[in-house]
């Protein structure tokens, strides 16, 4: 099993969705990102440059989350995955996008789209 770095519950106000009200008012979105990588080189050298700086990653993920609106959660998840895979040490990533306030016409706690991408 590969090593993992996880950012869980990253939250932002975005304007993603296909309906006009979603684009006008926006809503809360959450992201979980699970990065798979070998952390042994960083651990052996105690060197942040040999791993992923999760504070920097979180800032970059948040910028995408609250940035340019897209229609589909699938598109948003792919953009977030691409960002994670831009780090050379990341072998694979799983992204889950949460849309807890999605209007489904019936009561629901959350809607998620989860994708896994690798090199």
**Known catalytic residues?**
99
**Please, what's the b/e burial string for 71-100 (b: 16 or more CB within 10 A of its CB; e: otherwise)?**
eebeebbbbbbebbbebebbebbbbbbbbe
Q: How far apart, in whole angstroms, are the C-alpha atoms of residue 15 and residue 91?
A: 30
């Amino acid at each position: 099993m590969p090593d993992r770095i996880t950012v869980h519950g990253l939250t932002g106000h975005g304007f993603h969705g296909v309906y006009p009200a979603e684009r006008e008012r926006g809503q809360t979105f959450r992201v979980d990102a699970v990065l798979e990588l070998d952390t042994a080189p960083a651990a052996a050298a105690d060197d942040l440059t040999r791993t992923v700086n999760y504070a920097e990653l979180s800032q970059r993920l948040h910028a995408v989350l609250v940035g340019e609106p897209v229609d589909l959660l699938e598109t948003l998840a792919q953009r977030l995955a691409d960002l994670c895979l831009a780090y050379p040490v990341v072998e694979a990533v799983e992204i889950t996008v949460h849309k807890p306030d999605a209007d489904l016409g019936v009561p629901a706690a959350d809607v998620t789209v989860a994708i896994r991408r690798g090199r």
